[in-house]
Chain A
Amino acid sequence: MLLLTGQIFIYFNLFLVLSFLFLHNRFPSFFSSITIRLIGITGCIPFLVLMLGFIISDFTILNVSMNSFIDDPIFYKMASAWGSHEGSILLWIFIINLYLLFFLIRNKNHKNIIRNILLIEVGFLFYVILSSNPFIYYEVTANHQGMGLNPVLQHFLFVIHPPILFLGYIGLIIPFSTAVYILSSQNFDKKHFQTILIWSKISWFFLTLGIVLGSYWAYSELGWGGWWFWDPVENISLIPWLLTTAIIHSAAVSIKKNELKIWSLNLCLYAFIAAIFGTFLVRSNLIISVHSFASDPLRGMYLLAIVAYLLSFAVYLNIKSVKLFNQDKFYLLSRESFLLFNNIFFISAALTVFIGTIYPLFTEIIYQKQVSVGAPYYNVTFNILLAPAILLMALAPQLSWGKSTINYKSLWAAVIASIVIGLLAFLIWSNMYFTIAAVLCFPILSVSLFTIPALFKAKNISFVSQWLAHLSIAVFILAAVFTEQFDKDYNIEFSKNSQVTQSLNRSIDITLNDIHESSFSNHQKIKVDVTINKSGNMIQLNPSKNIYQPSGQVTTEVSKKSYYFDNFYSTITSITESNVILNVVYKPLINLLWLSTMLLILGIGLSIFRKNKYE
């Protein structure tokens, strides 16, 4: 029953979209606005039906049978709806239509932009119908209980991380469609750029949140490479993020100064294409990733076709708009030119990530040699390229639009203060990388710590979000460099039957309290209780191992606890007859890193809800 409903609504939605696309010029306006709403609603239904199928465990749907287990908790059952490839593409369509409905609230008359959105939705609808239809009938045997969701995915972040990230990727569809409309109609109305800015911010909000949640999840699981591993799946989410960051900065110039328009529009085109292209890369299995997806070359080809389809839009519009280039006039020392520099740095950074991500594909085809591009590559490219941008972040918001001046006295003061701070940092921690980070981040830290309270005092809240975002980046960099440079990794061997204390370093001791075993229906749990004494503060950790019957498969459960901004991360390496070996990782300031990302998300959230300062 559900199977049929899902099928019918996919086709019905496709029918409505196609008829709107081909016939909307002949529709009376009343009729076409009804059709658009109907498209939005019917487009949401198939995914909801699939989710209902998961909730009630309707195993006649193949996808439900393959990815759900009858006794899974309800949240995992719901989340299983995007656990598989088919389900997640259906979620894409759901989100496109959700955005369509929200877009309609404030933009009733933008039929042309809506048409562009639907032109893209058609691609995804065909994609579902041709290659990833989840509504396939499955012949159920009497006591079929489902194949079950992959146990590795049973984590609360599985419930929220994918949909939020998808909201981020697909949110870029509105800037894309608007940019296509502006470029094809040559109607450079300011209000369209405002549409672009606000929807880019919404998308950027979800992208940031999605990436951070993913990063936290990877940090929590053993063997997923830590909070950032420069894995292809991580990179392909970073590329649209960097480009969207660039859009937000350049669209401000387009609105305020009526410049950098073609530039901003092109960014909108390529940010969305980058998001789809990234999906193609990781779902076609062309590139080796730790965070892999079940893959199928045919599906990859369809996604590639969609990318080519979107790219053809972009290239056509690029050619069409060539003659519009070269109209901007800038003062070198002005806010707009610094925003342009921001864009150049961010676009170069996106480019380096892109090249690093696809390079293994390239070497495999050309040299038949497999390579992996990891942190060493990004340390010399990405990090060096973004370093100047950090310095500019302190300076740029203080410049005014148009011709501006710099107070050279305070500039020199800032330069000298940063150098002093750098020297101090080097004396205290004697670490080169952290010293560089401190020098780079000090100007923005000090300026924003002065500016934010002043802005609050002056009740000038509209600029707080911007300073908050810049401050959070500086804090993030300091925390990230600190945690990577000063983390410690300890292997500790305890003999099983004695309470002994071992010293890890001058300020950290660890004591084994207890080892207990408990039996559950399908597994046996061995839990180790240890106490870490960090200069008088006690931190309890209890890592465990589960041994599943009858397979004998062993899983290692991580136990992590925070001590202010630091985090202790412990696992049982092994347990033998006589002793137990623990691995304890000390991650200093990692919580400051998470906090800074929350600050960034708060900053962007504030800027979405505040009164648009460019109006």
Chain B
Amino acid sequence: MKFQKINSRLKTRLIFFIIIFVCFSSAIYLISYALKDKISFFYSPSEMQGLDIDDKQLIRVGGLLKKNSLKLENTIWYFDIIDEQEISISVIFKKTLPNLVEENKGIIVEGIYKNNILMANTVLAKHDENYMPQSTIDKMKSEGVWRGD
């Protein structure tokens, strides 16, 4: 009798253990799969040179909005993102540009890179006047052109 009781408790335990194990291992599998395939890389224009970038994957590009490059033709914005090595890439954006996107100021763009043009679906706006993306600051610092601090 007693043995049976323990046995049934063990059985329940085992089922719980299996459920928890399955849940957590599938979580870990999903996470590792997603971290391999579902993340996007963050580049500066000069880092993109010579890289073979998959034209199906979203990437983010950060840098400065190149002076005099912003123009509008047929409801589409065209502009260049430049970094401190004076290397720039062209961007196409079809929606309204957010506030505080200004020439010679930091900008982050997310989109797909195809035929040497970045088709942006998102342009992100900083909210803080003092704000510049840390990655941009780091890149500027590493290239010795950072004037802040």
Contact of B34 among A291, A381, A571 (CB under 8 A): A381
**Contact assessment for A581 and B75 in the assembled complex, using a CB-CB cutoff below 8 Å:** yes
**Contact assessment for A352 and B30 in the assembled complex, using a CB-CB cutoff below 8 Å:** yes
CB distance from A352 to the nearest CB of B (A): 5
* Chain B 119-144 near chain A by CB (<8 Å), digits 1 or 0: 00011111111110111000000000
- List the A side residues contacting B15 at CB < 8 Å: 332
Q: Is B145 located at the chain interface by the 8 A CB criterion? A: no
CB distance from A285 to the nearest CB of B (A): 5
* Tally of chain A residues near chain B (CB < 8 A): 62
**Contact assessment for A374 and B27 in the assembled complex, using a CB-CB cutoff below 8 Å:** no
CB distance from A59 to the nearest CB of B (A): 19
**Contact assessment for A493 and B74 in the assembled complex, using a CB-CB cutoff below 8 Å:** yes
**Contact assessment for B95 and A573 in the assembled complex, using a CB-CB cutoff below 8 Å:** yes
**Contact assessment for A371 and B39 in the assembled complex, using a CB-CB cutoff below 8 Å:** yes
Q: Is A574 located at the chain interface by the 8 A CB criterion? A: yes
- List the A side residues contacting B122 at CB < 8 Å: 225
Q: Which of A185-193, A343-351, A451-459, A532-540 contacts B (4 or more CB under 8 A)?
A: A343-351
**Contact assessment for A385 and B98 in the assembled complex, using a CB-CB cutoff below 8 Å:** no
**Contact assessment for B39 and A332 in the assembled complex, using a CB-CB cutoff below 8 Å:** no
Chain A minimum-CB-distance residue to B12: A332
Q: Is A8 located at the chain interface by the 8 A CB criterion? A: no
- List the A side residues contacting B124 at CB < 8 Å: 223-225, 290
**Contact assessment for B58 and A222 in the assembled complex, using a CB-CB cutoff below 8 Å:** no
**Contact assessment for B16 and A337 in the assembled complex, using a CB-CB cutoff below 8 Å:** yes
Q: Is B38 located at the chain interface by the 8 A CB criterion? A: yes
- Number of interchain pairs (Cβ within 8 Å): 163
**Cα(A486)–Cα(B121), bound, Å:** 16
Q: Is A572 located at the chain interface by the 8 A CB criterion? A: yes
Q: A348-B27, A572-B96, A573-B75 are in contact. Are A288 and B125 (CB under 8 A)?
A: no
Q: Is B3 located at the chain interface by the 8 A CB criterion? A: no
CB distance from B14 to the nearest CB of A (A): 10
Q: A348-B23, A377-B35 are in contact. Are A223 and B98 (CB under 8 A)?
A: yes
Contact of A293 among B20, B110, B128 (CB under 8 A): B128
* Chain B 1-36 near chain A by CB (<8 Å), digits 1 or 0: 000000001001001100110011011001101110
- List the B side residues contacting A285 at CB < 8 Å: 134
* Chain B 74-104 near chain A by CB (<8 Å), digits 1 or 0: 1111000000000000000011111111100
- List the A side residues contacting B42 at CB < 8 Å: 288, 360, 370-372
Q: A223-B123, A288-B42 are in contact. Are A377 and B99 (CB under 8 A)?
A: no
Contact of B126 among A290, A369, A491 (CB under 8 A): A290
**Contact assessment for B30 and A223 in the assembled complex, using a CB-CB cutoff below 8 Å:** no
* Chain A 344-381 near chain B by CB (<8 Å), digits 1 or 0: 11001001100110011000000001111110111111
**Contact assessment for A330 and B12 in the assembled complex, using a CB-CB cutoff below 8 Å:** yes
**Cα(A204)–Cα(B72), bound, Å:** 46
**Contact assessment for B72 and A292 in the assembled complex, using a CB-CB cutoff below 8 Å:** no
Chain A minimum-CB-distance residue to B60: A372
Q: Is A583 located at the chain interface by the 8 A CB criterion? A: yes
CB distance from A66 to the nearest CB of B (A): 10
- List the A side residues contacting B69 at CB < 8 Å: none
**Contact assessment for B75 and A491 in the assembled complex, using a CB-CB cutoff below 8 Å:** yes
- List the A side residues contacting B24 at CB < 8 Å: 344, 348
Chain B minimum-CB-distance residue to A292: B131
Q: Is B146 located at the chain interface by the 8 A CB criterion? A: no
**Contact assessment for B72 and A573 in the assembled complex, using a CB-CB cutoff below 8 Å:** yes
**Contact assessment for A553 and B102 in the assembled complex, using a CB-CB cutoff below 8 Å:** yes
Best-surrounded residue of B30, B110, B130, B133 (most CB of chain A within 10 A): B30
- List the B side residues contacting A224 at CB < 8 Å: 98, 124-125, 127
**Cα(A573)–Cα(B77), bound, Å:** 9
- List the A side residues contacting B23 at CB < 8 Å: 341, 344-345, 348, 385
- List the B side residues contacting A139 at CB < 8 Å: none
Describe A's contact surface by its main secondary structure. mixed
- List the B side residues contacting A223 at CB < 8 Å: 97-101, 123-125
**Cα(A341)–Cα(B18), bound, Å:** 12
**Contact assessment for A381 and B99 in the assembled complex, using a CB-CB cutoff below 8 Å:** no
- List the A side residues contacting B72 at CB < 8 Å: 573-574, 576, 581
Contact of B39 among A222, A344, A359 (CB under 8 A): A359
CB distance from B108 to the nearest CB of A (A): 8
**Contact assessment for B19 and A341 in the assembled complex, using a CB-CB cutoff below 8 Å:** yes
Q: Is A517 located at the chain interface by the 8 A CB criterion? A: no
**Contact assessment for A288 and B30 in the assembled complex, using a CB-CB cutoff below 8 Å:** no
- List the B side residues contacting A492 at CB < 8 Å: 75
Contact of B128 among A150, A359, A378 (CB under 8 A): A150
- List the B side residues contacting A294 at CB < 8 Å: 128, 130-131
CB distance from B110 to the nearest CB of A (A): 8
Q: Is B40 located at the chain interface by the 8 A CB criterion? A: yes
Q: A152-B100, A332-B15 are in contact. Are A371 and B41 (CB under 8 A)?
A: yes
Q: Is A331 located at the chain interface by the 8 A CB criterion? A: yes
Best-surrounded residue of A224, A295, A345, A377 (most CB of chain B within 10 A): A377
**Cα(A371)–Cα(B57), bound, Å:** 12
CB distance from A239 to the nearest CB of B (A): 14
Q: Is A489 located at the chain interface by the 8 A CB criterion? A: yes
**Cα(A330)–Cα(B94), bound, Å:** 57
Contact of A380 among B34, B40, B95 (CB under 8 A): B34
**Cα(A551)–Cα(B46), bound, Å:** 31
**Contact assessment for A331 and B30 in the assembled complex, using a CB-CB cutoff below 8 Å:** no
**Cα(A340)–Cα(B15), bound, Å:** 13
**Contact assessment for A381 and B30 in the assembled complex, using a CB-CB cutoff below 8 Å:** yes
- List the B side residues contacting A373 at CB < 8 Å: 35, 38-40
**Cα(A370)–Cα(B60), bound, Å:** 10
* Chain A 124-168 near chain B by CB (<8 Å), digits 1 or 0: 000000000000000000000000001011000000000000000
- List the A side residues contacting B76 at CB < 8 Å: 491
Chain A minimum-CB-distance residue to B40: A372
**Contact assessment for A371 and B75 in the assembled complex, using a CB-CB cutoff below 8 Å:** no
Chain A minimum-CB-distance residue to B9: A329
CB distance from B120 to the nearest CB of A (A): 12
A-B contact pairs, 29 of them (CB 8 A): A152-B100, A152-B128, A221-B98, A221-B125, A223-B100, A223-B124, A224-B98, A224-B124, A290-B125, A291-B127, A292-B128, A294-B128, A337-B16, A344-B19, A352-B31, A356-B31, A369-B41, A371-B41, A372-B40, A373-B35, A374-B40, A374-B110, A376-B39, A379-B38, A381-B27, A385-B30, A489-B95, A493-B75, A573-B75
Q: Which residues of A contact B (CB under 8 A)?
A: 150, 152-153, 221-225, 285-286, 288, 290-295, 329-332, 337, 340-341, 344-345, 348, 351-352, 355-356, 359-360, 369-374, 376-381, 384-385, 489, 491-493, 553-556, 571-574, 576, 581, 583
Q: Which residues of B contact A (CB under 8 A)?
A: 9, 12, 15-16, 19-20, 23-24, 26-27, 30-31, 33-35, 38-43, 58, 60, 72, 74-77, 94-102, 108, 110, 122-131, 133-135
Q: Could you list 7 further interchain pairs (A-B, Cβ under 8 angstroms) beyond the known A152-B127, A553-B102?
A: A224-B125, A290-B124, A290-B127, A341-B19, A385-B30, A573-B75, A573-B96
